[in-house]
Amino acid sequence: MKQSRALRRDAGAILKAALRAADPTKAVEAALLGRRDLDGYEHIFVVGAGKATGTMARAAERILGKRIAAGSINVKDGDMAKLRRIELHPSSHPVPDERGVAGAKRMAEICAGAGGRDLVICLLSGGASALAPFPAAPVTLAEKQETTRQLLHCGANIHEMNAVRKHLSAIKGGRLAKLAAPARVLSLILSDVVGDNLDVIGSGPTAPDSSTYETAMAVLDKYGLRQKVPAAVRRALEAAEDETPKPGDPVFDRVENVIIGSNQNSLEAAAREAKARGYRTLILSSTIEGETRDIARMHAAIARQIRKHSEPVRSPACVISGGETTVTIGGNGKGGRNQEFALAAAIDIAGLEDVMILSAGTDGSDGPTDAAGAIADGATVSRSCRDPAGALRNNDAYPFFEELKDLLITGPTGTNVMDVHLILVA
Amino acid sequence: MKQSRALRRDAGAILKAALRAADPTKAVEAALLGRRDLDGYEHIFVVGAGKATGTMARAAERILGKRIAAGSINVKDGDMAKLRRIELHPSSHPVPDERGVAGAKRMAEICAGAGGRDLVICLLSGGASALAPFPAAPVTLAEKQETTRQLLHCGANIHEMNAVRKHLSAIKGGRLAKLAAPARVLSLILSDVVGDNLDVIGSGPTAPDSSTYETAMAVLDKYGLRQKVPAAVRRALEAAEDETPKPGDPVFDRVENVIIGSNQNSLEAAAREAKARGYRTLILSSTIEGETRDIARMHAAIARQIRKHSEPVRSPACVISGGETTVTIGGNGKGGRNQEFALAAAIDIAGLEDVMILSAGTDGSDGPTDAAGAIADGATVSRSCRDPAGALRNNDAYPFFEELKDLLITGPTGTNVMDVHLILVA
């Protein structure tokens, strides 16, 4: 394991590059500093919602200063971003509350007041949907939540949920962009969803919606919910007034949606750093989902292949992937999906020399723990006095890696572009 | 989907190349025809066991003819290989029986009779371990089986099982090679195990064994079985007489183990065919294990990445992998792991153009069906009138693909080097 220390140092630097690419401050700076059009507007307004939006708003204030005429953002409870011109509305996450509604109304008001020579900058990041609820009257927040609960209970998928929710919202499904017209809209988006679909992130307040009232009703009927949802919800969907703006709607001629941070961006930054450090790099995918331990095993199988057959890439190799896997909980241990990933990988690469697998959540907090993830190599299993298979069965990766000092501790990063997985072979 | 037909034609040809590389007749021919030493022996003996060994033995007879002095192989019940010089012992699989013992004894006898100027050719393929049981006296077949059953029941892993079984066998763990000394031994091996470890395939009759009697006892103690296994088994392991030959033992100076067919070989053949057809190819791994649907989803994520980001390889792309995944049965439908792989992938690539994913078992028989696997593309889900998620939940991939005429039907191939997965992006 002579290369172990070098591999760890490189892995740390590569992960750091991935996190830097998702840094909300740097991402907003990069998006705004290069733009020539910002001086041409009569007023600039800033709205937005999401867990990273406080930081994003600060960066916007630093760059735009007094050019910001007004603004309002919804952030998660406890976010104390010091803002001078943009109002801060802390609200509840993941279960929305009336404070969120109040903030969302203020946003809508600002957008509605913007004119043809104005710019509305919309800041979006993970959590936006829950942090900025705005049920379209007369539906109440409680009624909208009850509908969501029923859909979840029936096993509706995310597309079905969104078709219904967008048609019950005053700002989602492109309606915020419609409110802002005729102003220009620039959305700066930190994506925390697999595939970076604009109409999914924060339920797409400034993105075209391809679902219709008909789609929403079909979803209710599919699950036999038409008579079960609150009456106000049923009536609103049946009335089908004021359809959400569709792809091709002229509203979007003046809207620019820019993804300023995403898993893909971070993987590309990781690849650049790995290349600079002399690795042959390969990005497998930024949309990986599935049961954590099985996805980890496939990563281990690729590591073995590199070691034994110099495929899919010759060493020194760095194979990079990302997305968001899922742990089916079977035990009562302490851990998170990234630590579980590293543990499952450790078992399958046990004994291999100069091979390392790392998994980390870009938000710095993996499951209910203070670690972002963990590092595994060919000596992980032999260095531990614990039973790795037992720890995996019990979803108990945290103490396993804590003892080996192989937890990755970054602290909260203030961003979230899902998870990053690295395979390094020296 | 303009390229769909071309993709299917190419996928079929690439799969065919993979199967051809694992063809027992061709593999034995390739291994024997090039050898110059075969005329130099006084006698050539042929022994062996496994499901493909009948075909392998026929190929050996065709090449060596009268140079074969004697031989005996154990094959699966129903194998009617017409042999002239080599005895055929049909026996039971997967549960061994006394006919298997009789055949194994005959093999041992032939090996023991070989002299210093003789060659013993040992043919091994999938199923060899169960087809050629030979408990070391005084342990009986029933006692050995009871021990195996107890170990399985306690959750012992394959390495632990093998450490015990090899020390209860008269021919496994390198003991057949020891019996054959001072003759030369040439083992021709079709590998059906992940990683192609010589000491695992057929429990390694001609390969060094790194486990010891002590290892075997430690396994029994780990699971509290020392007092529970049959008394003859305990006594045999405690007596620790006649240790299996270890790596470095001079016995192996005269032994050559050659893997003539394996998943890796087949993936390489597939890659050559894909390259010849103009695809940029990438072999991910030949040792993929894990829950089928999750591994399939990761393949779909890679397909999406190729389509959207030209990574990990630019189109026209052919990404190849292999191994043996596992289906955790939750429903009561009809299918096999390769059909389930294709179904899970179909859901995740729905709507993508010019993307195809194929999964096939190289033995031609996937689960309890007459199909080898299935093909999925971006139109699979929309072409079906069934609910793909429901079919997946019910492990019911066969009727799903049967209706679409997307089952792969090869018929029994007479070989087995596990499964092949292909991602094609035009």
Q: Do A312 and B309 touch (CB under 8 A)?
A: no
Mutation choice for B interface testing from A311, A320, A328 by most B CBs within 10 A: A311
Backbone angles phi, psi at B417, to 5 degrees: -125, 45
| B344: closest chain A residue by CA | A290
Residue B238: Cβ within 10 Å count = 13
| B319: closest chain A residue by CA | A312
Residue A112: Cβ within 10 Å count = 13
- Nearest partner of A28 among A418, A415, A364, judged by Cα: A415
Model pLDDT for residues A286-307, shown as the tens digit of each residue: 999 999 999 999 999 999 999 9
Which residues in chain B are contacts of A283 at CB distance < 8 A?
305, 309, 311-312
Burial A392-402 (b: 16+ CB within 10 A, else e): bebbbbbbbbb
pLDDT at A17: 98
pLDDT at B421: 98
Q: How far apart are CA B183 and CA B113, in angstroms?
A: 9
Model pLDDT for residues A181-213, shown as the tens digit of each residue: 999 999 999 999 999 999 999 999 999 999 999
Model pLDDT for residues B291-316, shown as the tens digit of each residue: 999 999 999 999 999 999 999 999 99
| A157: closest chain B residue by CA | B389
Residue whose token pair is 């595939």: A195
The total number of residues written for chain A in this structure = 426
| B287: closest chain A residue by CA | A301
As given in the structure block, the two tokens for residue A29 are: 């700076």
Sequence-separated contacts (24+) of B16-21 with Cβ below 8 Å:
B16/B273, B17/B269, B17/B270, B17/B272, B17/B273, B18/B266, B18/B267, B18/B269, B18/B270, B18/B273, B18/B362, B18/B420, B19/B266, B19/B362, B19/B410, B19/B413, B19/B415, B20/B269, B21/B261, B21/B265, B21/B266, B21/B268, B21/B269, B21/B270
Kindly indicate whether the ipTM for this predicted assembly is greater than 0.90, answering yes or no.
Answer: yes
Regions of chain A short of the pLDDT cut 50: 1
Residue A239: Cβ within 10 Å count = 9
Q: How many CB pairs under 8 A join A and B?
A: 84
Helix (H/G/I), strand (E/B), else coil: B63: helix
Which residues in chain B are contacts of A304 at CB distance < 8 A?
195, 285, 287
For strands B373-377 and B407-408, give the pairing: antiparallel
The residues, ordered by sequence, that sit 6+ positions from A404 with a Cβ below 8 Å of its Cβ are A380, A383, A384
Locate the DSSP E strands across B136-183.
none
pLDDT at B2: 52
B264 → closest Cβ in A283, A287, A309: A309
Q: Do B290 and A302 touch (CB under 8 A)?
A: no
Q: How far apart are CA B375 and CA B55, in angstroms?
A: 29
Domain A23-134+169-209+244-261 sits in CATH 3.40.190.10: no
As given in the structure block, the two tokens for residue B308 are: 């959207």
| Percentage above 90 pLDDT, chain B | 96
- Nearest partner of A286 among B269, B304, B31, B239, judged by Cα: B304
Which residues in chain B are contacts of A285 at CB distance < 8 A?
298, 301-302, 304-305, 311-312
A421: left (phi over 0), alpha (psi -120 to 50) or beta: beta
As given in the structure block, the two tokens for residue A259 are: 């993804």
Q: How far is A98 from chain B (nearest CA, A)?
A: 37
Q: Which CATH architecture has domain A2-19+264-425?
A: 3-Layer(aba) Sandwich (3.40)
For strands A68-76 and A44-49, give the pairing: parallel
Q: How far apart are CA A106 and CA A120, in angstroms?
A: 14
CA distances from A40 to A43, A44, A117, A184, A234 (A): 9, 10, 8, 11, 45
Q: Do B285 and A304 touch (CB under 8 A)?
A: yes
Which residues in chain A are contacts of B309 at CB distance < 8 A?
264, 283, 286
Q: Do A290 and B285 touch (CB under 8 A)?
A: no
The residues, ordered by sequence, that sit 6+ positions from B68 with a Cβ below 8 Å of its Cβ are B44, B45, B46, B60, B61, B85, B86
A290 → closest Cβ in B264, B297, B311: B297
Cβ proximity of A150 and A118 under 8 Å: no
Regions of chain B short of the pLDDT cut 70: 1-2
pLDDT at A157: 85
Rg (CA), chain B: 23
Domain boundaries, chain A: 2-19+264-425, 23-134+169-209+244-261
Helix (H/G/I), strand (E/B), else coil: A44: strand
| A156: closest chain B residue by CA | B389
B123: left (phi over 0), alpha (psi -120 to 50) or beta: beta
Q: How far apart are CA A59 and CA A71, in angstroms?
A: 14
Q: How far apart are CA A141 and CA A75, in angstroms?
A: 18
Q: Do B304 and A287 touch (CB under 8 A)?
A: yes
Which residues in chain A are contacts of B195 at CB distance < 8 A?
304
pLDDT at B3: 74
Rounded to the nearest 10 degrees, what angle do helices A231-239 and A141-153 cross at? Answer: 90
